[in-house]
Amino acid sequence: MEMKKRISLELRNRTPAEVEELVVDNCRTSDGEVEGLTDDFKELEFLSMVNVGLISLAKLPSLPKLRKLELSDNNISGHLETLSEKCPNLTYLNLSGNKIKGLNNVEALQNLKNLKSLDLFNCEITTLEEYRESIFELLPQVTYLDGFDQEDNEAPDSEADDDDEDEGEDGAGPTGDDDEDEDEEGEEGGEVGLSYLMKERIQDEEDDDDYAEEEEEGEDKNCCVDLSLVIKPKYSSLEVADMFVCHRSPVGINHQNLY
């Protein structure tokens, strides 16, 4: 697909002035020049043109807000002064896999005062003796070369940091909503719990009353049993039974005084 058509598709019903990020990797240019990109993309901050057959950047439009530019796997060999003229606020530039051979090819990047990260991996220039020392000396504003600083410390993943910040902002809303939902559930749970406790208390009181009544009845029964036990009969049951069998009453005893 041609670059111009690809850019048109990437707009997705937006105007160029509304686009902040644009990726047109693996499309093709007709003459090795930038096509379809105009000065109207004034809000563009990230541009990726990887493996599009670029030979020159001469037709790159003015992109004053552009900070990150991906140009890896093209055929660019020099004439990088266009970058400082058209993209003065660049902080990240990836030129890996291009045909940059000598220090004179990157000397024009000295005018990119905000440039912090430069990638020249897989370019012929990396085979030069003391390549890294020479680049850091030529471009003192650069902190990271091919992903590492002068002490071989790896560059932080800026994209991952941006994602973490976005997740933090996005996560703030749902977290707050969850807290509110939990609070509401807690309040409802408190009301249900109070009602339940009141019912339990009433039930306990009713059970206590029933138990008290049963206990009183038990005490009455026990008293009756105890009273009957403390009355000692004058005659044994066998003697009384024998008297009735003989159809006579015990001498000197009426039936009411047997017990």
> Which pTM value belongs to this model?
0.62
- Residue 244 is encoded by which pair of tokens? 């009735």
Amino acid symbol at 72: S
Amino acid symbol at 142: V
**Nearest Cα to Cα of residue 51 among 4, 89, 95:** 95
- Residue 82 is encoded by which pair of tokens? 């266009």
First to last CA, the chain: 125
- Do the Cβ atoms of 155 and 149 come closer than 8 Å? yes
* C-alpha to C-alpha distance for 247 and 156, rounded to whole angstroms: 122
The pLDDT, as a whole number, for residue 30 is 85
Distances (CA, A) of 27 to 30, 72, 171, 195: 10, 13, 36, 70
The pLDDT, as a whole number, for residue 259 is 41
- Do the Cβ atoms of 163 and 142 come closer than 8 Å? no
* C-alpha to C-alpha distance for 158 and 125, rounded to whole angstroms: 26
* C-alpha to C-alpha distance for 144 and 159, rounded to whole angstroms: 15
In the chain, alpha helices (H): 3-11, 81-86, 103-106, 131-138, 158-230, 237-245
Mean pLDDT by 10 residues, the chain (259 residues): 94 96 95 95 98 96 98 95 96 98 95 98 96 97 97 80 49 48 49 50 56 50 43 49 48 45
Burial per residue of 160-177, b for 16 or more beta-carbon CB atoms within 10 angstroms, e otherwise? eeeeeeeeeeeeeeeeee
